[in-house]
Structure 1
Amino acid sequence: MSAADELILEVESLVAGGASSELTDANPILAAVEIFDPVAGTWTPTGSMSVPRYFHCATTLYDGSVLVTGGIPYAATLGPVIDAHSLATAERWDPTTGQWHAAAPMPFGRSRHQALGWQSTVVVLGGADEQSLESAFTHTMYFDPATDTWTALAPMSSGRFNFAAVALTTGQLLVASGNGQLEGLVTDSEVLTEVV
């Protein structure tokens, strides 16, 4: 699978959604979720997401739950497009029940973004609208799981998608490279200082 988000849960990995590199009717985008135990070498199904997702992000929260944000629910090559935009929805996986529950939606849809666990929140950065990869978002925000709310942060100076992001020990976030407007390459990096 490519573009399935994988998270490390202690020694196990959660793999949520994604698709094969060959999107066909026989190989659709998935809502399925599985946990891999590297000690036993086994895969165990857990609750599926409410919608299939591809080019989404999954982030482990402080309580062991997982927040999935954005992505696309369809393959553009498969028949009529029902939702021509990236998803604004978010879902939260409960490790005690193995089930997904709706979280507050983001202000607008995005895919190919980054989402980082930060203190007790999730910071979501950049991305694009899958209908037209001609735009790259500068928008950043954070999700507070305690209140189920999204709050805007200062935007990045360059819009980008398919980029790298990492939390620094200085309390800042570093974003680098990626694709920008009209799918051109973004070769700069920036340090975001206004973080929760």
Structure 2
Amino acid sequence: MNARPLGMGEQIAHRLRVEILTGGVEDGTHLAEDALAARFDVSRGPVRDALRQLETEGLVENRRKRLYTRVLGLEGIEELYELREALESLAIRLAIARASAKDWDRVQEIVDRMRAAGELGDVEMFADADMQFHTAFYTLSRNRRLIEAWRPYQHTFEILFEMSDTPDIPAATADHQGFLEIIRTGDADAAVRRLHLHLTLAKGHIRDVLRKTADPSDAVAED
């Protein structure tokens, strides 16, 4: 199934999201609707939609009716992963209690797509499957408000994945397969412990990438 084409507002939000998360713009940069409309050659409507979305995601803040960028930095990354672990731990516990064997079979199909991505060397396909894998916990929790709480942060984590180096897809696939096998035993405590390890490693890698971006000399020193 092909992904739904992004609307203009979503496209603009994606472009700005990448710039904010990768350090393409400085923290506290004023985002004026007129200037952005001219830059992207669109009316102010799509720009307004994009900025509203980024404000929801915490990447833009409103100061006296003027919008400014909020670059995450290392502290912001720490906060994001703390929030994600709290949300996802609850999602896993509820999913284990409520999902059926057939539901987990469908999650297995996602892991199978990861494996296929490794065989093809398709990083984008793997990243998409990785996001589907984790989002499945929220869906299977059957808790609408929990799903809504996760939704604003999905795009941010997609970009954070793209910022990292090309993953070892076979190893990452094996990690997700092991994660799913623990979940299927029904041991929620073990699954949450595995999530903590999974996210701790991911967070550490992103922090390393951000440090190298902030000080490229670090990368040279490590070679």
Identify, as 1 or 2, the structure richer in strand.
1
Query: Is this a same-fold pair by TM over 0.5?
Result: no
TM range (shorter): under 0.3
Using the size of structure 2 for normalisation, the TM-score is 0.26
Identify, as 1 or 2, the structure richer in helix.
2
Larger radius of gyration: 2
Using the size of structure 1 for normalisation, the TM-score is 0.28
